[in-house]
Amino acid sequence: MQSVEKCIDVKYSEIKKKPVVDSKGVTLGNINDFVFSIENNRLVPKSIMVGGSRLEELLESLGLRPDEDPIFSVDNIDVIGEDKVTLKVDGETLCSTLCENIFAENDRKLSQISKAKVIDSDGFKIGKVIDVWFDDDAQVWLLLGGGFIEETLEKIGVQPDIDLIAGPKDIDVFTDEEIKLKWTRFQLESNCEKDYDRLKRQLASRDKPKDYKYAQLRLGPSHSQ
């Protein structure tokens, strides 16, 4: 992955566990979670949590030391590089997860969001969030996985390296327990088939497959062509 400013055209899984280095070159730890603000059923990138060594994380999970991890705003990112994330600021100026009011009432960690079930408009469970993607406009898309998702992709013959994503306009209700989409599972399947046809035409028209970074199917009917 080429170096990019902030979180643009990148998946969270690509930066998870990367070392975080401050403006003085000091390594603060590794990325271990992402914090979003939920506004009108949309995920707005807010901050990133930095964990320590495996031993430190184990001691914290056992309650043998305070669960205190540095946390920085996405605006503090200078460059996301191949092997590290570099900040614009001194690590000593950062707050920690123990700072008062560091988390707002509508803030949620990605690790929490991934526990919510994703359902269709009829309440049928279709899967879960397995990753997120930040597009060129810094909009957050949910990458979905699970039984129905896998069955649908297999049914229409989609390759395993193609992501199925849901955008901000596809989400109807967002709670801690569930993420409800605007479409029925039958509409979702139909949308996937239409978008897969579009994707195949798009890939076939390219002289070099490496011209695209991600192959994705978008759930919303407004995205299908």
Considering only residues 213 and 110, tell me which one the structure prediction assigns the higher pLDDT: 110
pLDDT the model gives residue 148:
81
Distances in whole angstroms, Cα of residue 39 to Cα of each of 118, 127, 165: 18, 22, 19
Dist. CA 30–CA 70, nearest whole Å: 10
Query: What confidence tens digit (pLDDT) does each residue in 51-98 have?
Result: 875 545 544 554 645 567 899 999 999 999 999 999 999 999 999 888
Indicate if the pLDDT at residue 131 is higher than 80.
yes
Q: What is the mean pLDDT of the segment spanning 125-151?
A: 89
Indicate if the pLDDT at residue 209 is higher than 50.
no
Q: Decide the pairing of beta strands 163-166 and 216-218.
A: parallel
Indicate if the pLDDT at residue 211 is higher than 50.
no
- Tally of residues, the chain: 225
- CA neighbor of 214 nearest in space, from 33, 67, 8: 8
CB neighbours of residue 179 within 10 Å:
25
- CA neighbor of 70 nearest in space, from 45, 88, 97: 97
Q: What is the mean pLDDT of the segment spanning 37-59?
A: 79
Ramachandran quadrant class, 205 (left: phi over 0; alpha: psi -120 to 50; beta: rest): alpha
Q: What is the mean pLDDT of the segment spanning 25-44?
A: 94
Q: What is the mean pLDDT of the segment spanning 13-23?
A: 95
Indicate if the pLDDT at residue 105 is higher than 70.
yes
Phi, psi at 224, each rounded to 5°? -80, 145
pLDDT the model gives residue 3:
40
pLDDT the model gives residue 20:
95
154: pLDDT confidence band, cut at 50, 70 and 90? confident
Query: What confidence tens digit (pLDDT) does each residue in 20-31 have?
Result: 999 999 999 999
Indicate if the pLDDT at residue 1 is higher than 70.
no
pLDDT the model gives residue 66:
57
Walk me through the domains of the chain, giving residue ranges and CATH numbers: 10-111 (2.30.30.240), 114-223 (2.30.30.240)
Q: Return the amino acid letter for 132.
A: V
Q: What is the mean pLDDT of the segment spanning 25-41?
A: 94
Are the CB atoms for 27 and 19 separated by under 8 Å?
A: yes
pLDDT the model gives residue 206:
59
Considering only residues 219 and 171, tell me which one the structure prediction assigns the higher pLDDT: 171
Token digits for 13? 């899984």
